[in-house]
Amino acid sequence: MKNLREVAQVIRSKNSSPMKLTLDIIFKDAEVFEEVRRRDLLTPEVVAGAYRIPPEEIEKVLYFEPARAVKIGMRRQVRSGSPGDSDVYGAQQHAPLLTLELDL
């Protein structure tokens, strides 16, 4: 098992709309990226488990080979800028991925 932080160069989040987030994971090397993609280690179920939300909240998991990246689209739990929102830009929403363990 390896922590995602060990194999990723970048783990970040941002708003893609007031009710949606995009999570980006850029891997350090192509071999690890290929293994994660080949073995489908970042499924909606895995990501949802990290966030403790239903898998239906994860709208897409897209592998982008030229950048060794995975893009994940998910619904925000609180609308950006509304009462109760603690991160209006969605820039801190990647935190649950920082403790994610992958079977590598």
How does residue 5 score in pLDDT terms, banded at 50, 70 and 90?
very high
How does residue 39 score in pLDDT terms, banded at 50, 70 and 90?
very high
User: Is residue 28 a part of any domain in this protein?
Assistant: yes
| Measured distance CA(60)–CA(35) in Å, rounded | 19
**Which residues, including other chains, have CB under 8 Å from residue 94's CB and lie 6 or more apart?**
11, 12, 13, 23
pLDDT at residue 10, as a whole number: 98
User: Is residue 64 a part of any domain in this protein?
Assistant: yes
User: Is residue 20 a part of any domain in this protein?
Assistant: yes
Mean predicted confidence (pLDDT) in 11-36: 97
Q: How many domains does the chain have?
A: 1
User: Is residue 33 a part of any domain in this protein?
Assistant: yes
User: Is residue 101 a part of any domain in this protein?
Assistant: no
User: Is residue 69 a part of any domain in this protein?
Assistant: yes
| Residue numbers of the domain that contains 57 | 2-76
How does residue 88 score in pLDDT terms, banded at 50, 70 and 90?
very high
Q: For residue 40, list its beta bridge partners.
A: none
User: Is residue 87 a part of any domain in this protein?
Assistant: no
User: Is residue 9 a part of any domain in this protein?
Assistant: yes
**Which residues, including other chains, have CB under 8 Å from residue 77's CB and lie 6 or more apart?**
53
Mean predicted confidence (pLDDT) in 44-67: 97
Q: Note whether 90 and 15 are within 8 A (CB).
A: yes
